[in-house]
Amino acid sequence: MEQDEEAPEFPFFANNPNSSIFFPLKIPAINGTKVLTKYIFYMNGGMDVAGCMKKDGPVYGVPIYLEEREIGCLHHTMSNEQLQHLATNDPHAFAIDEVLNDMQLTHLKAEVMRLWKMLKLQMTLNQQYWEYTKQMTRLSSGMFQVEQELGNIWK
């Protein structure tokens, strides 16, 4: 097999439309139009794709979504129970991940990876919120006691 002299090095690979890992990333061409990238690689846990036309050429990257998103447009809703099945600590998550890998649907895998990242962030923020709330309750109680004692001293 011939080695393409213009091919960038790892982690890039040929963006072959007949491949199951093909991604239709279009980048600006010299004449102002957009063309499909020759080489791509997936990054950020498969949530983003970067591509270029040749070695040492400009690299362009985009986030991967299930469908093109419009600003302010709400997409399909899921119940909280369905969302929790997609959380990485849920017993269903392993099976879902295996199916996604077998299906080799890049867009769907990226969307689930993004969801896992957001669910993890949500759990972290909820925990921080409850810790903050507990601390505020203790501080409020302490402030009340101090104000009571100051009130007794000023009498």
Are 87 and 141 contained in the same domain? yes
| 46-83 pLDDT, tens digit each | 888 899 999 988 898 888 776 555 545 545 556 666 66
Strand order in the sheet with 48-52: 13-14, 39-43, 48-52, 60-63
Are 98 and 57 contained in the same domain? no
Are 99 and 145 contained in the same domain? yes
pLDDT value of position 70: 52
Are 97 and 155 contained in the same domain? yes
Domain count, the chain: 2
Look at residues 64, 92, 111 and tell me which one is the last residue of a structural domain.
64
| 4-37 pLDDT, tens digit each | 888 899 899 999 988 878 888 888 888 888 999 9
Are 137 and 83 contained in the same domain? yes
* DSSP designation for 96: H
pLDDT value of position 15: 92
Q: Is residue 130 part of a domain?
A: yes
| 125-155 pLDDT, tens digit each | 999 999 999 999 999 999 998 888 888 887 6
pLDDT value of position 93: 72
Q: Is residue 69 part of a domain?
A: no
Q: For residue 110, what are its two tokens?
A: 């990226």
Q: Is residue 120 part of a domain?
A: yes
Look at residues 64, 87, 113 and tell me which one is the last residue of a structural domain.
64
Please state the pTM of the whole predicted model. 0.52
The domain in which residue 90 lies consists of: 77-155
**What's the one-letter identity of residue 73?**
C
What residues have CB less than 8 Å from 86, skipping those under 6 apart? 92, 93, 96, 112, 115, 116, 119
Q: Is residue 29 part of a domain?
A: yes
Are 82 and 154 contained in the same domain? yes
Q: Is residue 8 part of a domain?
A: yes
